[in-house]
Amino acid sequence: MRFNDKAQTARTFTKDGYLVVPATLSKVGIFDYLDSELNVGNQKAVKKVARTEGSLFGNETIKSFEGVPITVGHPKENVNAKNWKALSVGVVRNVVRDQDTLKGEAWIYDEETIRLIQDHGIQELSCGYDCKLTQTQVNGADYEMSPMIGNHVAIVARGRCGGTVKLADEENAMSKKVKLLDSILGVFGISLSDEQKKQIEEEDDEQTSEMPKKKSGENQPEKPAEQSAKKEKNAASDEEKEKEKKNVKDEALVKENAELKAKIQKLEDEAKASVTAQKRSAVLADAKMISADLSFADSDMVRQIQEKVIVHSGIAPAETLTALSDEAIEGMYQAAKNISKKLQDHQLGSAFLNDSKPQSVGIDFNKLYGGQQ
């Protein structure tokens, strides 16, 4: 399910900066699950599971979701007293039934998660709960859920297209090449170094010095008859000379523009390659610290590395990431880093407290992402 305020008009902030958002937590209906998600059958077939009013609206179920932690992505185990501090970013309040849906308020306490929701549009919700399945034929379903017992509500990603950015070219008269290059590359966030400016100015001076110099005459006085004949000859060819001069200027301008474009492209490619390589190295180093058991190929680019970490952290399944913008992927990757840091800090502080055995539960839906909930 999702936050209910598509236009964001119902979102409010408390005096302490917490974000409060009306939220639809779950709803009744027939939903498709893989056998692998239910731990039944041949692991690849699809089963239909009925979430009925009895599954969702019993007093025990509604009370169980009141006050459950909100997490970014589904954790690998239930949220409990030992790990809630590392995983929780908020809490669910005021849970009620509204027709065929279970609704409440999502109180988000964590600053980074608030930014993730506000800036990157990550606003889908998925309940983490325990329940049992019984075989049924109600409405063509294969199984029916028992009353659900809430454990947490996870903020997860769903398909969403990012905006596009268009850069408009502005036609300006050329002055100095360095100034023009600086202004054009500034659009791409690139600035010329002093060494690059000096190189362009030197090349410009070389081109100027290679231009043919105007020849001077003997400066001897001409006779009147000679002046008259020369005037008539010049008058007959003035128009042709003007055309020739214009053609020469046009050719020089075309050549100069082509050289300028080539320099811009070269500098832009070099700058982008440098930035991309530096960012990949930084992201790869972070990713290996976040997920030591993940492997990365030499051909993996920044986004591919980030997507592997996002999937591994449980924030979103791989199939939902394709339609997301690079900005949204970056926001989700930062959330994964924050979760990893919290878990590392928590594990350090609780190294001597982990003396309990894992409790077995029924069917665990903590890792379910697909479909509406």
Same domain, 98 and 61: yes
Residue 353, phi then psi, degrees to nearest 5: -110, -5
Count of domains observed in the chain: 2
Report the pLDDT value the prediction gives residue 287, as an integer from 0 to 100: 85
- Model confidence at 194, pLDDT cuts 50, 70, 90, reads low
Closest CA to 72 of 1, 126, 121, 24: 126
In a domain, 137, yes or no: yes
Supply the mean pLDDT for the chain. 75
Report the pLDDT value the prediction gives residue 180, as an integer from 0 to 100: 46
Same domain, 314 and 346: no
Same domain, 128 and 68: yes
Write out pLDDT tens, residues 119-156. Answer: 876 667 888 999 999 999 878 899 999 999 999 998 87
Same domain, 71 and 140: yes
265 has a pLDDT exceeding 50: yes
Write out pLDDT tens, residues 74-101. Answer: 888 999 999 999 999 999 999 999 999 9
Same domain, 313 and 357: no
68 has a pLDDT exceeding 80: yes
Domain with 41, as residue range(s), is 12-157+337-364
In a domain, 40, yes or no: yes
Same domain, 67 and 135: yes
- Model confidence at 166, pLDDT cuts 50, 70, 90, reads very low
Same domain, 153 and 287: no
In a domain, 212, yes or no: no
> Pick the residue with more confidence: 347 or 260?
260
> What is the torsion angle, in degrees rounded to the nearest 10, for the CA atoms of residue 148, residue 151, residue 156 and residue 159?
0
Report the pLDDT value the prediction gives residue 158, as an integer from 0 to 100: 53
* Most confident region among 215-219, 244-248, 358-362 by mean pLDDT: 244-248
In a domain, 163, yes or no: no
Lowest mean pLDDT among 32-41, 247-256, 273-282: 32-41
Same domain, 320 and 344: no
285 has a pLDDT exceeding 70: yes
Q: What is the pTM of this model?
A: 0.52
In a domain, 146, yes or no: yes
> Pick the residue with more confidence: 334 or 345?
334
Residue 180: which residues within 8 A CB-CB, separation 6 or more? 172, 174, 260
Report the pLDDT value the prediction gives residue 100, as an integer from 0 to 100: 93
- Model confidence at 334, pLDDT cuts 50, 70, 90, reads confident
In a domain, 220, yes or no: no
Same domain, 307 and 354: no
DSSP string, 127-190: EEEEE-EEE--GGG-SEEEPPPEEEEEEEE----PPP---PPP-------HHHHHHHHHHHTT-
Closest CA to 362 of 28, 40, 65: 40
Percent of the chain with pLDDT over 90: 25
Same domain, 288 and 360: no
In a domain, 191, yes or no: no
Instruction: Write the CA distances from 39 to 33, 140, 285, 349, 368, integer angstroms.
Output: 10, 20, 35, 34, 12
In a domain, 273, yes or no: no
Same domain, 357 and 296: no
Same domain, 55 and 82: yes
Residue 335: which residues within 8 A CB-CB, separation 6 or more? 72, 73, 112, 113, 116, 122, 315
11 has a pLDDT exceeding 60: yes
3 has a pLDDT exceeding 60: no
Instruction: Write the CA distances from 240 to 214, 237, 244, 251, 347, integer angstroms.
Output: 19, 5, 6, 17, 87
270 has a pLDDT exceeding 70: yes
